[in-house]
Homo-oligomer: A and B are copies of this chain.
């Protein structure tokens, strides 16, 4: 008879490895071996243990295991963004969900940590060292020292997007921002536009830099001049896009296309254009970046560049687990895809 036959409302003491061992008629050691891959265990013992586990409803006590192994078998998803971006940017959702499910497949729980303030950052850093096997880092702004700190502390780490100034020391997974920007600008060119402007992302983020570089390179490839009046900085926010577009219309009223470095900003651009009485795409074509829900919500719906967020998340998890397993840091760059809708 197992000790856990009833599971009433009060919490019972959960079965331990001893209970399983007794139930199966073997020793702790054998049960432990079964739990950890089942090597050097006779078929009969394996069977007995497995059925005993099933009968008792045993689950390994991860605290006890972690205490001795030193591993925690959990990883942190660390977000170091000012909160507005987290709210506004639906990509985080996709990324977070993707990481959660990819990890779940390996039975590794995910700890969500958000470090908006300096105090939160310190608390999280304290926690991470020693309580978590690795970190999935989402932090785009380059002022952020957290990647370097974690790396110095010897914590396995994968960043989403290339962390600036880290050489090749830290792993990262990123979309091909430069290639995506190139595809979009070339597409605008090929649909006949010749005064192609851009609303850039923040230039302290790798994405912002790369997309601008792609814009610039493609202009050159197409034989178009680079005109500084056509380049307006933005901050990835809707409001920022609106401001940027007004500025652009003032500086270069003859613009006939805008490559906007995020869908959210593109929404703002659309608003400004509407206020200014410009028709999209007839008067001005607008190209976004991200293929976020905002792209579908926009009127007209945005032609944009899809980032492979689902693959990004699964690659991040793959690289992180590999690194925890002892492999070297790796960089992965994934292709983007042009999505044609109504705005260009």
Contacts and interface: CB of A to CB of B under 8 A. Distances in A.
A279 to B, nearest CB: 15
A83 interface: yes
Q: How many identical chains are in the complex? A: 2
A191 interface: no
Contacts of A92: 93
A53 B131 CA distance: 18
A130 B60 CA distance: 9
Interface stretch (A24-32, A40-48, A103-111): A103-111
A64 interface: yes
Interface stretch (A4-12, A182-190, A203-211, A325-333): A4-12
A16 B159 CA distance: 30
A318 interface: no
A59 B129 contact: yes
B63 A67 contact: yes
Contacts of A61: 67, 130
Nearest to A11: B154
Given A94-B87, A130-B14, A297-B238, A111 B110 contact: yes
Contacts of A294: 297
A123 B109 contact: no
Interface residues on A, range: 35 or more
A241 to B, nearest CB: 12
Please report whether the interface of chain A is mostly helix, strand, loop or mixed according to DSSP.
helix
Nearest to A83: B97
Nearest to A9: B154
30 contacts: A7-B153, A9-B154, A10-B154, A11-B154, A14-B130, A59-B127, A59-B129, A61-B130, A63-B63, A63-B64, A63-B66, A63-B72, A67-B67, A87-B90, A87-B94, A88-B293, A92-B93, A97-B114, A100-B112, A101-B114, A101-B120, A104-B113, A104-B114, A104-B120, A104-B123, A109-B111, A109-B127, A109-B131, A111-B112, A238-B297
